[in-house]
Structure 1
């Protein structure tokens, strides 16, 4: 105990709590049943409420602003991730571990399909749906056969990286004016001499709008990735230095020792990073569908969460319309 820090000693850990015996293939660094016999890992359990809250917030955003249904389903999957993890860390039971880990795979598969099928002609979306379902089934069965958490972690990381990289590529290609103009049809370029002054002004406005949007998106992506990868780093440190962290927690006592619960920080930071990623996906979809003037991203401060909402008043034609939007750029 630190003499100058008011605290209470950690109660002894035990393995005979309400949900005993432990059947999961993983048991994290937080000591078991030290706070209550009804939750094996109390901090790891409660930090999942962030997923549940943000997930319902995202679902409400999709419903209120008429976003694509696939994102409402994705946010519902996000809620299942938090709920499954809540149940897993409460019980440390193998079935709950599967709910926790496989819901991460299934939610990422939804984003995988939404990212790669967009604007593809039939039968590509249908074939991609069958492929994605087959991939999810394969990961489920093979992971249950191996019962090796490393396989799940690698599968999740690969799927997430594929979706992120594809989304970034599509975003740059279709929204940044420089790349968008390079991919315009030759016929359109030949008509440039006959374009009216009003059309030129509107095109200039759209280019300036998209420059603001792409800048805002990269700020959002950078922030979300930094938080997500920071949580991943803390999670690894928690695994590597578990015995030392447990000793430090006991020296600090409660409630201060909770700050050193690395897996709890992993939940908070990856949950926030994943939320940013899904909101970015919603916004990107509207921009790709040519609805940039109908929606905007609101993000009041670094200590708040972003949302994609309908504009109250679409910008009018002309360069001056972008002046207000430019001030919002970070």
Structure 2
């Protein structure tokens, strides 16, 4: 089966712009607007692959912060989830192979479940829903089985992932309200982080992902030069990054840990002071 464009589900006409692509002809279920193997025979979509690397950078940075400040396992899973999505995105766009696509898309589902757990349990010292990890693991397993069973699962994946993201934003807004009227610096940081997280992902989807995939088949000469999907990757790296930082600070307040926002490597992060 030939790869199809993700919006109209029409078969891709030109599989490769290189006569001998290193990873073979694209065989993923979807293909994107960027020309395949235009710049090198070793990378299918050069800019889409390159723009996935920041996910790995922020993942490593976040995991280091977890170790440094002895954060809870849930935050390790969030940062690791971003890294897995980054690896999957590099594999998907770099090869346009089904294995890379599965790593990317299943990684997105698992990362979103880690994010959902964090916000649902954010305000409790002990787990209020001890059954939640089992439910989420069962959901992920069922999703994976359906994913590999149906060859036309991509639209379902988009719908289910979007629903999870919207639920996370709705639940995170309840946390945001705790900082909405405070005038101190920490509250201002929290408000900024929330809105960057809450607006970034939906805006990236609506104004970058959708236009490229809806209009590229009609205006390929334009959208193959704009690289909106690569920009989408950058926006959707910063959005979850801000979300995890936002949640980390609030979790520290719940646990009575002395924390403050700081800037490191040009990024906001939460510095947790050592216990006396």
Please state which band the TM-score falls in when normalised by the shorter chain. Answer: 0.7 to 0.9
Return the match for 1:229 from 196, 202, 212. 202
Q: Check if 1:309 corresponds to 2:274.
A: no
| CA–CA separation in structure 1 for the residues paired with 2:145 and 2:245 | 31
Q: Larger relative CO (CA 8 A, sep 6+): 1 or 2?
A: 1
* Structure whose CA Rg is larger: 1
Tell me the residue number matched to 1:155. 160
| CA–CA separation in structure 1 for the residues paired with 2:59 and 2:44 | 24
| CA–CA separation in structure 1 for the residues paired with 2:105 and 2:159 | 12
- 1:270-305 Cα offsets, whole Å, 9 max, x none, are 1111111111111121122233xx1011248xx932
Q: Check if 1:67 corresponds to 2:71.
A: yes
| CA–CA separation in structure 1 for the residues paired with 2:193 and 2:179 | 16
Q: Check if 1:77 corresponds to 2:81.
A: yes
| CA–CA separation in structure 2 for the residues paired with 1:88 and 1:239 | 17
Tell me the residue number matched to 2:3. none
Q: Check if 1:241 corresponds to 2:245.
A: no
Partner SS, residue 298 of structure 1 = strand
Tell me the residue number matched to 1:215. 188
| CA–CA separation in structure 1 for the residues paired with 2:67 and 2:126 | 27
Q: How many Å apart are 1:176 and its aligned residue?
A: 4.8
| CA–CA separation in structure 1 for the residues paired with 2:219 and 2:194 | 31
How many residues end up aligned between the 2 structures? 258
Q: How many Å apart are 1:67 and its aligned residue?
A: 1.9
Conservation of the 8 A alpha-carbon contact between 2:212 and 2:223? no
Q: How does 1:242-281 map to 2 (within 5 A)?
A: 242-243=216-217, 245-248=219-222, 257=225, 260-281=226-247
Distance 1:64 1:87, change over 3 A: same
Conservation of the 8 A alpha-carbon contact between 1:84 and 1:97? yes
Q: How many Å apart are 1:133 and its aligned residue?
A: 0.8
Conservation of the 8 A alpha-carbon contact between 2:179 and 2:190? no
Distance 1:130 1:313, change over 3 A: closer
| CA–CA separation in structure 1 for the residues paired with 2:158 and 2:222 | 28
RMSD: 2.7
| CA–CA separation in structure 2 for the residues paired with 1:52 and 1:29 | 23
After TM superposition, the score normalised by the length of structure 2 is 0.84
Structure 1: 5+ residue stretches without partners? 1-11, 179-207, 251-256, 315-330
Return the match for 2:50 from 34, 38, 46. 46
Structure 2: 5+ residue stretches without partners? 1-15
Q: How many Å apart are 1:313 and its aligned residue?
A: 10
Q: How does 1:99-248 map to 2 (within 5 A)?
A: 99-118=103-122, 119=124, 125-146=129-150, 147-172=152-177, 175-176=178-179, 212-232=185-205, 233-243=207-217, 245-248=219-222
Conservation of the 8 A alpha-carbon contact between 2:259 and 2:273? yes
Q: Check if 1:297 corresponds to 2:267.
A: no
Distance 1:265 1:177, change over 3 A: closer
Q: Comparing both structures, which one devotes a greater share of its residues to helix?
A: 1
Distance 1:230 1:16, change over 3 A: farther
Q: How many Å apart are 1:177 and its aligned residue?
A: 9.5
Return the match for 1:95 from 94, 99, 102. 99
* Worse-matched range after superposition: 42-51 or 16-25: 16-25
